[in-house]
Chains A and B, each alone.
Chain A
Amino acid sequence: MIQVFRLCKDYGPFRHAISDVSFNVERGEFVFLTGPSGAGKSTLLKLLFREELPTSGQVLVNGRNIGVLPDSQVPYFRRTLGVVFQDFKLIGRKTIFENLSFVQSVLGLPRGEQKRRAYQALKRVGLQHRMNSYPSELSGGEQQRSAVALAIVNEPVLLLADEPTGNLDPVLSEEIMKLFAEINIRGTTVFVATHDIDLIRRMGKRVLTIEKGMLRERDMARESLAREAPFLPG
């Protein structure tokens, strides 16, 4: 699903955000990207999402070399992805249901299909009963679940999340991770950047660690601390 080869991203001659990073993520995998603040996690996610262009190296997402993807093709590429950020990014003047159907109306989907998909996505995150609420009327966890619903409403093949639990307490963080695990079980590849080591350990998934723009990979599942994986469904 993701193939990164000798990826570098520089901001000017002296700031190397990503240096010679290579890794693969298989279809259907659940991978964490961790590292201290400023290590390059968000930059790497932006590169995967084609919000930034690499200085050198190659990034292939879902078989497409996004480094050479023409600007006109970027929107169509992004329709195959879902993205969740730390700040929930919901439209305040619209209800949760309207938020979800709005983004689909921009993409030109028929109204009936918009409603169906929006309802399905809200059902998957367990928020169908709050569909007519405005973001400000929801708790932090509910807002983040809404953001997840927004990310999965287009049924993406890859879900990218950048510090999705950064604004949530441990209980709500676990809830969101459980949601990600459920989405992953249904076949979506999930790539989550977080610095919450404790959460990563309990999930027992593959971990990529980035430090000062360079990658070192650890398989947390094999580590003793990952014996328990309480959020894995089933």
Chain B
Amino acid sequence: MNSRYLFGEAWAIARSGPRHTAMAVLLIALAFYVPGLFALLARNLSRMSDPARDPVGVVLTLDPSADARAIAAKVAQDRRVARVTIVGSEAALERFRRAYPDLGAALQELHEAPFPPTIEVHLRPAVPALAARDLAASAQSWPGVDSAESEEAFARKFRDGVRLLRGAGFFLGGLLAFAAVLSVASAVRLALDLHRDEIDIMRRMGATEAAIRAPFWLHASFEGLAGGALSLLLLYATYRAAIHLLSREPHPVLSLFWVGFLDLPTALALPAVGAIAGFVGSLLSLSKRPKS
């Protein structure tokens, strides 16, 4: 079996049923677009809550004229507190620019610092969840403290939400990938039907089963690859369209997190998984000896 035969026949199979090939590619693209969109949302949301970082328990927003060091020392005396971090206006701005490079540039034109100084309070892991709320309530009345908010519950909920989104993406992805596999399987079955005479001739002439099936495997894998690549293109188009829309009409929440596309491994995984789905689909339809 040579590559000329293999690729030539795979191409011939695709050409013999162009509508079915296109339909299968489209279905695969759709099947991978939906979980891809979930992955995109989850990725951008997770930027706002990095689970690897030590979560902040309480955030004290200070009056610009307050003595941040003195307040930090006072907080640190509490036995429930593990450590405190003073985040000045400049540091907050720098952190924002690092997290959101696109949006950070827009803040350069401002004359005054857009972020007030804050103190981030990290609690000891063993303390109960209510401790953050207690600490925030008592700090609220301290001089120089504008506001004190417990972040832990929100951060946990946020992380749970992102996890749920990811899980939903995986579940839907699995479900739709299964549908994609079935659609490829039916497209391959149809191609088999269209090539029944050829299969008969090949078998009669002494072609091995592998030689007969290989072009179908290749064809289905390419169908999956093309479907995965198309879903990636659609996702990028969606991402760019959202960026365009948000730049014209900024949204207070969406504009904050909708800043990055899928990372390279995830993006490359789409066509790769598509190719695998196509191959599995062809295996399914060719599991029995193709009839001649």
Contact = CB atoms under 8 A, between A and B. Distances in A.
Interface stretch (A21-29, A105-113, A137-145): A105-113
Contacts of A78: 203-206
Contacts of A72: 208
Interface in A58-80: 72, 75-80
A83 B207 CA distance: 14
B206 A107 contact: yes
Interface string B190-218: 00000001101111111111011000000
Give chain B's interface residue range (CB within 8 Å of chain A).
20 to 34
Contacts of B207: 75, 103, 106-107
B201 A150 contact: yes
Nearest to B211: A106
Interface in A79-124: 79-81, 83, 89-93, 99, 102-103, 105-108, 111
Contacts of B201: 89-91, 99, 103, 150
A83 B202 contact: no
Contacts of B142: none
Contacts of B206: 75-81, 107, 154
A83 B198 contact: no
Given A75-B208, A91-B197, A106 B4 contact: no
Q: Is the interface of B mostly helix, strand, loop or mixed?
A: helix
B292 to A, nearest CB: 9
Q: Which residue, of A72, A92, A107, has the highest number of chain B Cβ atoms within 10 A?
A: A107
A78 B1 CA distance: 16
B167 to A, nearest CB: 45
Contact of A107 (B4, B12, B200, B205): B205
Contacts of A93: 12, 16
Contact of A91 (B1, B5, B198): B198
A91 B206 CA distance: 16
A46 to B, nearest CB: 11
B214 to A, nearest CB: 10
Nearest to B292: A51
Contacts, number: 60
A75 B211 CA distance: 10
A32 B8 CA distance: 40
B138 interface: no
Contacts of A102: 5
Contacts of A99: 201
Contact of B200 (A89, A105, A108): A89
B197 A89 contact: yes
B2 interface: yes
A106 B198 CA distance: 11
Contacts of B205: 78-79, 103, 106-107, 150, 154
Contact of B2 (A81, A105, A150, A154): A105
Nearest to B209: A75
A49 B207 CA distance: 14
Interface string A172-202: 0000000000000000000000000000000
A20 to B, nearest CB: 28
Contacts of B198: 91
A55 B209 CA distance: 24
A133 B79 CA distance: 93
Nearest to A76: B206
Interface of A: 49, 72, 75-81, 83, 89-93, 99, 102-103, 105-108, 111, 150, 154
Interface of B: 1-2, 4-5, 8, 12, 16, 197-198, 200-209, 211-212
7 contacts: A75-B208, A78-B206, A93-B16, A106-B205, A106-B212, A107-B206, A154-B205
